[in-house]
Structures are given as structure tokens and as C-alpha cells.
Structure 1
Amino acid sequence: MPLRQFEKLLILSARLLILICLLPLSAFSQTTGDQSQNRQNGQDPDSLIRLRYPIPPLTTSPFQAPRLRSPLFLNDPKNYSSKIEYDPKSNEYRFEQNVGSLRLSEPYYLRQDQYRQYDLNRSVADYWRQRLAGENFSSQGGLIPKLHIGGEAFDRIFGSNTISINPQGSAELIFGVQINNNKNNNLPEKVRRNTTFDFDNKIMMNVTGQIGDKLELGISYNTEATFDFENRTKIAYTGKEDEILKKVEAGNVNLPLSGSLISGSQSLFGIKTELQFGRLTITSVFSQQEGKTQTIEVEGGGVSNEYEIRADEYESNKHFFLSQYFRDNYDQALKNTPIINSGINITKIEVWIT
């Protein structure tokens, strides 16, 4: 019994081995037969392989949709060109695509009615493309996009529903650590080493804003400006032609005057209004003058100016009262200068230095 079972198992294994060897041969014969059949039909077997992400063929007809641009596909070469020429012999229009002097495909011919339809479609497409590009360019914002606020009241007050803010400038921040190590044995050990944090900033900023068509905002700020009035802040409201309130400015304003009797003022910080009642125009300013006018006389190459300095401001810690009595009666004694109202006359003083 064991010998017969072994023989049966051996025969079964031999049959399985023969079957496994015959399967590739049958598959190869079937593939060879399919390839020969494809060659008889005029088809290349390599062309039957389907790509998972096929590349669209090159457009040869002007009526077909253009190929979509994608990073997966290569761009057209620089010497690629497409042109349409009129053939007077056939009274047709020939559409060609070339790469340099090499023609990519057979030309495509258009009748006159087809060419007119093609030219109309191309003109309409170019028009909408240019209009869309213009709208995208006008709606582009910088760092802060434009805002649209609905409501009739906002439009009536500011003339529009658009808010735009355009910041420009630069900001530089400087960080540093300064370590001082003094090897002086007379100092305590904790004081010999000193660490300080150094910080500096340089900001140059310009901000222009527009709220509707009437309100404008302008800010100019520079940390390295020589004078404070160079940093300007201004808000201006401009009314329409038929409105009484012509203009309102807040911030850095000026009041220029054309007459020579009264000179205008510059570098003002406050509020300026312009009103118009018919032919009457009223300009008013409520502000603080940040600058001043000074006249300088030059004599012999030098500038002479008159100024007054109090004695206690001229030399500090050099003038003292002899006693509290003189301190209490100082203002009363010098009330009618140059006459000194004092009944005390000091004839001798001794100063001891210790």
C-alpha cells in the first residue's frame, strides 16, 4: 500500500509539472498570433499599449479645442509656429503647424465660410480673454486685498463701496548681545562680567488708503527722519462738485496764502476745512504749528542772535543762598530791578574749604 500511494503521488506531480511548462508556451503562441494578426491589419503592437495618463495628441484642426496647459506636459518649443495662408488656386485657406522648417502634420484646409466662422470664434475668444485679464488685473491687491462693503448708506457717504489699503516700505530689526568681561581683581567676581541685549530698528513705511471715492488716508513714517514733521499723517475727505463741504483734512495740513501781507503757514497739525456757498469759499484751520520762523543776521561772517538766560540756568551748582532768609525774600527783593529792595548789606564773607 505505501508503494502504490507513492507511485500515484509521483504520477500526479509529473502531470502538474507538464501542465505548468505548457502554460507559458500557449500564452506565447497566443501573443505571437495576436501580433501577427495586428501586423496583417496594419497596426503596430506598440501602439496598442494604453497609458494610464495619456498625452493628448497635437491639435491640427483650428476648430478643435486647444490643448490644456499642464506641468505634466512639455511646453511648445520656441521655434514652433502655426500659420494660415490663402491658396488662390484652390480658393481655400491652408492651416499649418511647423517646428522650424519641419512640418508637423498634413495641412488642414478651410473653405471661405469655414474660415469666416473660425475668425469670428477667435475674435470673440480673444475679446473675452482680454476683458477677463483686465478685470483680474484691476481686482488684484497687494498685501491687503480690496474690500467691498454693501449698503446704500456707505455708498452715499463715501461715493463707493470699495476699501483699498496699499502699504509700502521696509522694516529692519537688529538684534545683538554685548558681553563685557573686565579682569579687574579689585572688582567683585559677579561685577566683572556684564551682558547686555542690544536692539535697534529701522522702519520706513508709507501707507495709502482709499475708502470709497471721497476718503483718502496717507501715512509716512521714518525712524531716521531728521525732524518730527517729516513723519506725516493725513486723512482727507473730498466732496463732490455740488456739495457744500468741499474738503476736510485732518493731520499734517498747511494754509498757503497768495497775498504778501499775511504769509501762509506750513507744517501744521490739526484740522482744515473748505466750504463753498455759491461763489463764497471759506477755508478754516484749527491746528498747532510744529515749525517756527526765525530771522538770522550775518555780520562779518558770524551770526549774532539775542537771547536771555537766567542766572540759575547759566551755571548750575555755582550760585548759592547764604541762608534761608535770602531764599525766602529773593523774589521780593528783585521785584523792582535794578533797584534791590533789601535792608541787609553784606560787607565781608569768609569761605572755608575743607
Structure 2
Amino acid sequence: MEGIIHHICRWALIVAVCCVLGCMAGSVFAAEPGDGEGGDGATDSLSLRFPVRPTVAPDYESLAKDEFALDLDTPSNVVTEVEYDPESGCYIVRTKVGDWDIATPFMLTPSQYYDIDMRHSMQRYFNRRNSMTEGRSVKEREPFNVLDMSFASGPLERIFGPGGIQLRTRGTVLISTGIKSTKTDNPALSLTSRRKTYFDFDQKIQATVNASVGDRLKFGMNYNTDATFDFDSKNIKLQYDGTEDDIVKSIEAGNVSMTTGSSLIRGSTALFGIKTQLQFGRLTATALVSQQNSESRSVSTRGGVQTTPFTVNADEYDANRHYFLGHFFRDNYDEFASRLPLVSSGVKITRIEVWITNKSGNYSQSRNIVAFMDLGESKVLASDYWRPDPAISNTSNRSNNLLTVIKDEYPDARNINMVTQALAPLQAFGIEGGREFEKVESARLLQPSEYTLNSTLGYLSLNVALNADEVLGVAYEYTYNGQVFQVGEFSSDITVSDQSLYVKMLKSTTLDPHQPMWHLMMKNVYSLGAYQVEPSNFKLNIKYLSDTTGTPINYLPIARLSHKPLLQVMNLD
């Protein structure tokens, strides 16, 4: 309404100015009869086409007159005051500049004063309503912004309170895309395998979304790909706040926190679940169902050295990292290590090549291999098709006839593309691919820095644990009782790079505890997840979780072993 009035006033002012200019151009001063020279006198006043209310109201009619749109604002130093005279019961209107009256005061009856006050109140009310309507119309004319939206809640306002539905999104999104192509000029690889092209995608997102329905329901979400911890990268919370008289004070869903007033029971701040606060009179109840995403640890130091307790279960061994090179070394491990630190094995491994499935994309030292489980074994064989040599009890290519049969009767197995077809007749004897043997195209040769070899006890420790779908094969040479033995084929034995190597398989893609190869993986090595552990301050305790007491004890509740600690039972003390 006020906006329309402003437009009308603007056009009225333009018309008035044009009329005044036109009158001036046409001798606006009109001659009227009166005293003057020649019997005609010109008036010294200008007749106004649009009336203006006087600044100082001389009477009640001028004060009660409606304000015209062209009127200028009253100067700030001119103040109109109304005083009540209790003797006469009337109201005195004074117009002052400072403490001085600039006009003659006049009196108003109570009815006149109430009428003027009602007029001014109504005028202020409609001006305020017009300003609100104008503000809404301006906002409605603003363009739609998907990052800052606001809607009226309608009937939902009775449930969630006033405020409407609001959604604000802030943040930055940086997406990098590209294509990487690498080419390796390795004659051992086929032309299609020399070039590797893959899609490279990277993103950095820091976004915050805040939404609200009324003044009770709020939703917040933070997403930061550069967060230090994983549970901090995504933070989602939906919160409902009740009123003072509601039973449900608040309901929170998403990332919540739980604080307690006791030092014995500590709360946690990294929780994901549902939390609610209820009040029944003077009783306040807080319920929480969540998943904890953080962990707290206490560290103590003694003499400048950090001491940290570790608890490891017997089945939490370091899997897929430590392997015996053959059953000969596994069966004689206790005997060879019975006089530690002196190892009485008579074994010295002088040469070894370790091959694994190539997943790194590095083909600088790669070869096609075919790994056999029973290669080099004489006593523990998965298939009775291979004939062991009783004269050789230790592991060797001559311990059974596997390598000889494959070379003589299945020559096409050298071609990696024909291994499955060439060795298919062995299925009639229970020898299947993926169990007794594995073919690996472009297997990667590990560097000596990627594993640790115990050359006297005959086991291998990888720096990185293998995945379930990876194959591990070895070829090694060692001396035993003055004789030299070899297991598998070295890359120098087969100089033609496109022909496959026959190696000893220590791990296949099929993990079967019933296979003899399952026992080659060492299950007596545990990782503490620590480094620089001092042997002098290291203490080991072995405990048994008793079903009777429900607590760990350092002995077995058996009649003949209950008096001995488990350390002594296992010869570790």
C-alpha cells in the first residue's frame, strides 16, 4: 500500500511542478481588483494547486487534518507536546523549539484528543502493515536460489512452531578428473599389456547443509573429505526440541554425544545413533542407542619410557605374511630351534626368488609363472599321483616326479594361455586348477627389501600381508649337509621371457584348512602394532578365559596342570 502511495506522490509532484512552470510561463500572477496603480493590484501570494498542512498547527482542525503525501517531514528541533491540565480537564498542545514556544498554545477537549490519538494510531498501524507487505513483495520478486530456500510451513506450523521451512547450503566442491596412460617397453609382455590406461578421479568437498522446520526441528550436515579422522568426515544430526511443558524435551538422531556427571562413568563424543530426553514431572530420563566410532587409550610412562599394555587373543595371529618354504622346514622347526640362539639345522638358503600376483602395475620385473603345491615335497603330498623319492627326505625338485612329469608330458604348460587346457587331463587324478596349481600372468618379483628371509630356519616374512585373491610362489636354492638343493625354477633357468616358470606355491586363491599347504602359513606370529620395543622391559603373560570364573587366569583348571603357570606349560618362561 505504501509503495503505491509513493508512486502516486511521485507522479503528483511531477505534475505539480509542470503546472507551476506552465503558470509561470503564462503569467501565473493573476490580476485581481484592488488598490494599486491604475486601479489594478497584483496579489503577493501564489494559489497552491495542492494544499500543504502547516508545520505549526494553529488549531484543532489543522492538527486533525490528514497528512498529505507531498508534505515534508517536520524538522527534528520542532516538537509538539500535549500536556494534561487536571484543573480544566483538558489537554494543552504546545509547539516548541527547545524550551521556547513558537506558537500560541491551544486547548483540546478529551473527545478531541482521543480522536486525534486514534487517527495517529491507525495511521502508524497501516504504515507498518504496508511496510511488511512491501517487504514480502520484494522478497517474492527475488530469483529462486537452490542454495538458500525458504517456504511457508502451512499446517506444520502448529507442530514445529513458526519460522517456516528453510534450507541453506554453504561450502566448496573441487573435482579433478583426468586420464593416465603408462607404457612399458618390456618384450616379455604382449602388445596389449604394455600400455595401461585408467581414469583418475579426485575430489575435495567441504560442505555444510542447515535446514529447519519452524523453531523446533533442525537438521545439520557437514561433509569434509580432508578430515583427520574418518568419523569426522561425515557429520549428520537431526534434532527436535520440545517446549517447556512437553514430555519430550529433545530427540537427536545421527552424530550425538553423551556426557555424564560422574568421573567413574565417562561419556563419549563420537557416537552415531538416537538420543532422547524425557521429563515426567521432576524426573528427567535420557536414553541413548548408538554405535561408538572412537576409542580412548591411556598411556603411562616410567623412567622416560612409554609402557603400553597389549591384549591379543590366540586366534588373532598375523595372517598371510609368514610362510615356511616347505614341510621339511616346518616339521623340523622345533628341533632346529631347540638350542637358540644357536640354530642346529645345517641349512643355508643362498638364493631365492619370491613371486606374487601383480597388482601394482609395475611390469619391469615380471614373468608368467605356474605354481604347484606339491612341488619339492616328499612326505606331505596333496595328491598321490606324484611319486616321492624315498632317498631324498628334504625338500627338492627331485623329492618327487612332479617337475619331470610336467616338463615331459605337458610341454604346452609353458604357454600361459594354454595352461588350463594343457593340464586339464590331471583332473582325472584329482589335481585341479586353483587348488593344486595356479597360473599367474605377469607375476611381480619382490625386491629383497619387501620381505625378510630366515636362511637357517627356512621361513619367509612379507612386509605387507597378502590379500585373499593373491598367489605366492617361490624358487630357492640351499645347502644342506654339504649338498646343494633347488626348489622351483629361477628366471635365469628359462631365458625365453614368454615361457612360464614352474615354482613352489605357498599360497593360492583358495584357502582350505584341509590342504597340506594350509600348514605352511605360520600361525605363531602376532603383531603388537608397536615399534622400538625394548626386550629388557617386555613382559609376557599367557592367560586362559575360564568359563567357571568368567575371568582370565594364568593356569589351566586341570588336575595335573593347575599348579603350573601357562608360561611354564608352553616352555616360554
- Structure 2 length as normaliser, TM-score? 0.35
SS in 1 for 2:168: strand
What corresponds to 1:215 in structure 2? 217
What is the aligned counterpart of 1:195 among 183, 194, 197? Answer: 197
Q: Deviations over 1:129-159 (max 9, x none)?
A: 75355435766674253233543xx333323
Residue 292 of structure 1 pairs with residue 295 of structure 2: yes
What is the aligned counterpart of 2:281 among 275, 278, 281? Answer: 278
How far apart, in 1, do the equivalents of 2:145 and 2:191 lie? 56
Opposite residue 268 of structure 1, the aligned amino acid is L
How far apart, in 1, do the equivalents of 2:195 and 2:297 lie? 51
Say if 2:153 and 2:213, in contact at 8 Å, map to a contact too: no
What corresponds to 1:235 in structure 2? 238
| Alignment map for 1:252-263 (pairs within 5 Å) | 252-263=255-266
Unaligned runs of 5+ in 2: 1-9, 18-43, 56-66, 74-122, 332-379, 381-513, 524-543, 545-554, 557-565
Say if 2:16 and 2:49, in contact at 8 Å, map to a contact too: no
What corresponds to 1:318 in structure 2? 323
SS in 2 for 1:229: helix
Opposite residue 118 of structure 1, the aligned amino acid is A
What corresponds to 1:177 in structure 2? 179
How far apart, in 2, do the equivalents of 1:296 and 1:279 lie? 41
What corresponds to 2:151 in structure 1? 147
CA 1:60–1:235 in 2, change beyond 3 Å: closer, same or farther?
closer
Unaligned runs of 5+ in 1: 1-58, 67-89, 93-107, 342-354
CA 1:245–1:137 in 2, change beyond 3 Å: closer, same or farther?
farther
Higher relative contact order (CA 8 A, sep 6+): 2
How far apart, in 1, do the equivalents of 2:190 and 2:225 lie? 40
Say if 1:63 and 1:118, in contact at 8 Å, map to a contact too: no
Say if 1:91 and 1:111, in contact at 8 Å, map to a contact too: no
- Structure 1 length as normaliser, TM-score? 0.54
What corresponds to 1:11 in structure 2? none
Identity of aligned residues (%): 29
SS in 2 for 1:189: coil
What corresponds to 1:265 in structure 2? 268
CA 1:129–1:213 in 2, change beyond 3 Å: closer, same or farther?
same
Cα distance, 1:261 vs. partner? 3.5
SS in 1 for 2:53: helix
Query: Over aligned residue pairs, what C-alpha RMSD do you find?
Result: 4.3
What corresponds to 1:304 in structure 2? 307
SS in 2 for 1:117: coil
SS in 1 for 2:157: helix
Q: Deviations over 1:136-190 (max 9, x none)?
A: 5766674253233543xx3333234832211111211111111212233443322
How far apart, in 1, do the equivalents of 2:69 and 2:162 lie? 42
Say if 2:53 and 2:71, in contact at 8 Å, map to a contact too: no
Cα distance, 1:212 vs. partner? 2.5
CA 1:186–1:287 in 2, change beyond 3 Å: closer, same or farther?
closer
Say if 1:62 and 1:118, in contact at 8 Å, map to a contact too: no
How far apart, in 2, do the equivalents of 1:227 and 1:189 lie? 43
What corresponds to 1:117 in structure 2? 68
How far apart, in 2, do the equivalents of 1:117 and 1:111 lie? 8
Cα distance, 1:281 vs. partner? 1.4
What corresponds to 1:135 in structure 2? 136
Q: Deviations over 1:37-90 (max 9, x none)?
A: xxxxxxxxxxxxxxxxxxxxxx89636499xxxxxxxxxxxxxxxxxxxxxxx8
CA 1:316–1:113 in 2, change beyond 3 Å: closer, same or farther?
closer
| Alignment map for 1:54-65 (pairs within 5 Å) | 62=13, 64=15
Say if 1:142 and 1:166, in contact at 8 Å, map to a contact too: no
What is the aligned counterpart of 2:164 among 162, 165, 176? Answer: 162
How far apart, in 2, do the equivalents of 1:247 and 1:60 lie? 57
Opposite residue 174 of structure 1, the aligned amino acid is S
How far apart, in 2, do the equivalents of 1:91 and 1:229 lie? 84
How far apart, in 2, do the equivalents of 1:258 and 1:314 lie? 43
SS in 1 for 2:180: strand
Cα distance, 1:232 vs. partner? 1.0
How far apart, in 2, do the equivalents of 1:224 and 1:170 lie? 12
How far apart, in 2, do the equivalents of 1:64 and 1:276 lie? 69
Q: How many residues align?
A: 240
Opposite residue 226 of structure 1, the aligned amino acid is T
CA 1:260–1:185 in 2, change beyond 3 Å: closer, same or farther?
closer
1 or 2, which has the higher helix percentage? 1
How far apart, in 2, do the equivalents of 1:168 and 1:241 lie? 32
SS in 1 for 2:321: coil
Cα distance, 1:217 vs. partner? 0.5
Residue 244 of structure 1 pairs with residue 247 of structure 2: yes
Q: Deviations over 1:87-106 (max 9, x none)?
A: xxx899xxxxxxxxxxxxxx
Q: Deviations over 1:272-312 (max 9, x none)?
A: 11111222211121112211221011344442212245584
Cα distance, 1:248 vs. partner? 0.5
CA 1:200–1:315 in 2, change beyond 3 Å: closer, same or farther?
closer
How far apart, in 1, do the equivalents of 2:71 and 2:277 lie? 55
Opposite residue 117 of structure 1, the aligned amino acid is F
Opposite residue 232 of structure 1, the aligned amino acid is N
Say if 2:52 and 2:70, in contact at 8 Å, map to a contact too: no
Opposite residue 146 of structure 1, the aligned amino acid is S
Say if 1:169 and 1:204, in contact at 8 Å, map to a contact too: yes
How far apart, in 2, do the equivalents of 1:238 and 1:184 lie? 67
How far apart, in 2, do the equivalents of 1:277 and 1:192 lie? 74
SS in 2 for 1:191: coil
CA 1:263–1:312 in 2, change beyond 3 Å: closer, same or farther?
closer
